[in-house]
Structure 1
């Protein structure tokens, strides 16, 4: 009698992580997407100053810029769980403090200091989730499946980012409108306390290792400032600039037409194409190289933004955003896929956090600057902000493609 031995099932991310991981990681990154817009809304309402609100929002971005990568480095060194638990608890407490201080007689400087601390402790859920999943792929997947699995994972993660970055501001608007301007900030604090903590305690927290899972050494910190790493970071900065500039200029556009409360709904049109195309990236053929994808879809993004200053109606704006969305998702997937493949050994969480921080920095700075432009020079001028941001994204892509071509040419030279 012969016994049939069942062939082992191929590795699956859902099987390795458990299905609840994915909705948990999605909700846990919502506070990240709500903070910048929520703080902007809170300060405008409490202090009646758009300039102060913009400066407060920018301080949040500055805190993230300076400390976000350090949190990633700490996660690489000490593990994600401890870093997330400490940062998440501190961030929730600081958000509650800001909500109280905003309506108190406290000086503006205290608001700015609290906003900086909020940015500095902002839990880096999205990049740390990427690091976890890439680590699992590196250990559980055979070598011939890793590249495709990483690309598919980056596609999903970017689609998840799109969902929260598009609908985070919508949630802020709904809470601020139906309740009060404090509600979005308190809501972000509660979400962080519950879901960031759950994300930190999830068993996958121990799976976050470099994509080079077979390496036992950590690359030196200077490896993080190589052009191969910094160019995707520059591209992510451009994407953040686009999000901030687009949302702020769209709000001015809708306000001119007396329907400012519908800004979130129109902005959501951009997320439809973006999330769908981000998920579709996993089906792109391998011969459609990452560098080429960056150039093609950043080109679509730029082409769509060039139409913005000439749009005169709300349906026309929604259509333009639908086209722009086609370029956003695949571009972000490409940037994160390139960064994941180029992460120095043992520095995966650091690199992923650098990209995530760049998005927040770009969003907060561009939001503040575009708001000032809209007030002083009008909506048409403000609508040029997304154009500039898209140009930054495309320029970084061109620079990355040029560098990659030079590396390939150097590798093909015969040894003497």
Structure 2
């Protein structure tokens, strides 16, 4: 009889040995060579939407128009991010990053010039498409580098959950700095300064990150009968992770073919609805009270909650699995978001925003942890970009809806968007939670990100 070790359980690993800490993770040889440029290159993800909203609202006077342009950027990024991830898996991260950041810098420049020249909405919409499509997927690429760096030995593999938490903390930290920086530049320097800074950071950080060739995962190339790595080694099933999680042997299929990845992609739309709804609604709220600068403070407090919760999640050796943590996190997020529309003072909104932020990081970390055993190594960047793209898509829809509601009914109406988005995602998660467990008949003990060949447990 063969028993299967559930990689989502988490309890056995938590009791077998103390969880490694951030200090041990950051002492991993080669880690800082991609962490520092990666941090600079991922800042634009947090600055782009708010930079567009503030610039277009300034030039057009409409939150609805600003939301439409920002949404076009988000939808474009959501559609193209997984394709960028596929190309990075197949040809290498550098081959995708270098032309991508160059195109992004040109597109942001065009969008800025059009907005300042009073171009019609359709022209801004057109310019927003390549702007979003070319956003570098640095976060997923950094996660893929951690997987490649840590998955080479059993000792290092114990650091994989810590790496997942650390990356979520880094993501949240960018959402503390990015919107505050963009808002300060737009309100204190020039309405276009936030978007210009976003383009410069993308170009500089992206090129520096791409230059770190030593830590990028080895690309895979397609050939008949299997997949061939750059070093000449092969895998018939194209994976180093969970069998059955990415299709049958001999054919490398998209990460989206995995049922659990599809569920998580839908669920992450709800997280995007929080980011988008909060950005527009907080901006509108600050305008309503006659203090535009309060927007950066309020969003910074909200994002600080994300970061603090992320730090705590990475430091805890959890006794419950990530699936249950994801459901609990979403339940708390929905409950906290339910009160946003009824708050009308800065201190109260800051306090509630902090509470909302505290539930986002656990949901993000749990989602990324769940996807790791589901997807083989050769499709890992693509899988991560599906989640990133879903957040962007949810953010795009929320920006549009919240902008229209804020124009028609005030900032309070815009805060309904995060509530609706998280509630729908929670219902989906509860209904389809069984698909988040890797189904691998007759196998395996897999650990971490599923980077090694699994071993049957008798």
- The worse-fitting range, judged by mean Cα deviation, of 321-330 and 82-91 is 321-330
Answering whether residue 415 of structure 2 is matched by residue 383 of structure 1, we say yes
> What are the within-5 Å matches in structure 2 for residues 367-382 of structure 1?
367-382=399-414
Mapped to 2, the partners of 1:346 and 1:250 lie a distance apart of 40
> What are the within-5 Å matches in structure 2 for residues 171-190 of structure 1?
171-190=181-200
Mapped to 2, the partners of 1:189 and 1:404 lie a distance apart of 37
Q: Which residue of 2 aligns with 1:5?
A: none
Mapped to 2, the partners of 1:344 and 1:120 lie a distance apart of 25
> What are the within-5 Å matches in structure 2 for residues 335-354 of structure 1?
335-354=367-386
Structure 2 runs not aligned, ≥5 long: 1-23, 221-228, 239-245, 247-251, 444-458
Structure 1 runs not aligned, ≥5 long: 1-10, 412-416
Kept after mapping to 2: 8 A contact 1:127/1:355: no
Q: Which residue of 1 aligns with 2:243?
A: none
Q: Which residue of 1 aligns with 2:451?
A: none
Q: Which residue of 1 aligns with 2:10?
A: none
Mapped to 1, the partners of 2:83 and 2:440 lie a distance apart of 32
**Cα shift readout 1:68-117 (whole Å, capped 9, x = no counterpart):** 11111000111001100010111011111211122336443332111001
Larger helix percent: 1
- The worse-fitting range, judged by mean Cα deviation, of 163-172 and 101-110 is 101-110
Q: Which residue of 1 aligns with 2:40?
A: 27
Q: 1:199 Cα deviation (Å)? A: 0.6
Q: Which residue of 2 aligns with 1:62?
A: 75
Q: 1:323 Cα deviation (Å)? A: 1.6
Which of 332, 344, 357 is equivalent to 1:312? 344
Q: Which residue of 1 aligns with 2:110?
A: 97
TM-score if structure 2 supplies the norm length? Answer: 0.80
Q: Which residue of 2 aligns with 1:193?
A: 203
TM-score if structure 1 supplies the norm length? Answer: 0.88
Q: 1:223 Cα deviation (Å)? A: 4.8
**Cα shift readout 1:130-162 (whole Å, capped 9, x = no counterpart):** 1111121212x31x652x422111111111111
Kept after mapping to 2: 8 A contact 1:63/1:116: yes
Q: Which residue of 2 aligns with 1:163?
A: 173
SS at match of 1:181: coil
Q: Which residue of 1 aligns with 2:435?
A: 403
Task: Classify 1:59/1:273 alpha carbon distance in 2 versus 1 (closer, same or farther; 3 Å).
Answer: closer
Q: How many residues align?
A: 397
Which of 19, 33, 37 is equivalent to 2:50? 37
**Cα shift readout 1:31-54 (whole Å, capped 9, x = no counterpart):** 122111112222222333433322
**Cα shift readout 1:247-304 (whole Å, capped 9, x = no counterpart):** 2222233333222320110221122332122122233334310011111121221121
Mapped to 1, the partners of 2:416 and 2:113 lie a distance apart of 36
Mapped to 2, the partners of 1:70 and 1:406 lie a distance apart of 24
Kept after mapping to 2: 8 A contact 1:47/1:103: no
Task: Classify 1:222/1:100 alpha carbon distance in 2 versus 1 (closer, same or farther; 3 Å).
Answer: closer
Mapped to 2, the partners of 1:250 and 1:107 lie a distance apart of 26
SS at match of 1:207: coil
Which of 207, 217, 238 is equivalent to 1:207? 217
